[in-house]
Amino acid sequence: MPPGRCFLVGAGPGDPELLTIKALKAIQGATLLLVDDLVGEDIVALASPRARVIHVGKRGGCLSTPQAFIERLMLMAVQEGEIVVRLKGGDPFIFGRGGEEAEHLRAAGVEVEVINGITAGLAAATSLGIALTHREHAHGVMFLTGHAGHGQAGLDWCEIGRTARAAQITLVIYMGVASVREVEAGLLAGGLPARTPVALVRNASRADQEHAIADLGSLSHALQASGLASPCVFVIGDAVRAGNCVAALAQSMAL
């Protein structure tokens, strides 16, 4: 039996045209695909008709498949000679637990090949013409999660606000919908000005993408008023001001 292989593949933010060529080749070559729920059906449809597809996400009324079960399944399939592709939204190593998965598989003796994807925060910013590190507005960018892992304390948003202000860092916050009030209050307490512009982007790069522009002082209010829900990223910082989405709004809001 030929040896199996295991790929951890980033499916990008949604638009199939944003897949890398490597990711596309891996998807087409898979005999078994394990698919997260942020991955759209148009990407899964690129797989061979002979491939088996298993959805392991939390949505659609089912509980999330336990991580340990997914890892055991991958392990067994590779040992049986399957070409396994674990398809994850965005980039496999930006949140979404790809790091843990690769670690567990390697510990069990399975070599994992990781293929990058375009992470949601990059796609969200670019879709609105926002250059995250525009030289006149930012010296760097931070990718942050609003959702702490089990048993972990959340981020110190006050400290992050202080750093973002002092070092002119654009903040890209994933999974921030539930903790938006703490994010807003903490960043303000850290000294990030209330008029700092914020872009909220849902379903970045998909046909049903939606966005809202606000300022930090009214972030949680704007989120509620816009009705934007997960999956949503917040892009916070002066770099947002230079995006093509803001020009019209900026005048009316005096951003």
Report the interface residues with ligand SAH, using CB under 6 A.
13-14, 38, 88-91, 94-96, 119-120, 124, 174-175, 201-206, 230-233
Nearest approach in angstroms of CB 205 to ligand SAH is 6
Amino acid (1-letter code) at residue 55: H
* Tokens of residue 49, six digits: 């008709």
Q: Is 36 one of the catalytic residues? A: yes
Q: Report the residue closest to ligand SAH, judged by CB.
A: 90
Closest CA to 219 of 134, 146, 126: 146
- 172 alpha carbon, distance to own chain's centre: 10
Residue with smaller CB distance to ligand SAH, 38 or 110: 38
- 166 alpha carbon, distance to own chain's centre: 26
Which of 36, 91, 215, 238 is flagged as catalytic? 36
231: preceding bond cis by omega (within 30 degrees): yes
Residue with smaller CB distance to ligand SAH, 36 or 215: 36
Angle at 250 between CA 246 and CA 255, to 5 degrees: 115
Residue with smaller CB distance to ligand SAH, 130 or 204: 204
Which of 37, 142, 175, 253 is flagged as catalytic? 175
Q: Is 175 one of the catalytic residues? A: yes
- Is there a contact between 12 and 36 (Cβ–Cβ < 8 Å)? no
- Is there a contact between 226 and 212 (Cβ–Cβ < 8 Å)? yes
* 3-state secondary structure (DSSP) of residue 169: strand
Nearest approach in angstroms of CB 166 to ligand SAH is 26
* Tokens of residue 72, six digits: 């055991």
How many Å from the N-terminal Cα to the C-terminal Cα in the chain?
Answer: 63
Q: Is 58 one of the catalytic residues? A: yes
Nearest approach in angstroms of CB 119 to ligand SAH is 3
Residue with smaller CB distance to ligand SAH, 25 or 206: 206
Nearest approach in angstroms of CB 157 to ligand SAH is 16
| Widest pairwise Cα distance in the chain | 67
Residue with smaller CB distance to ligand SAH, 5 or 88: 88
Active-site residues, by number, are 36, 58, 175
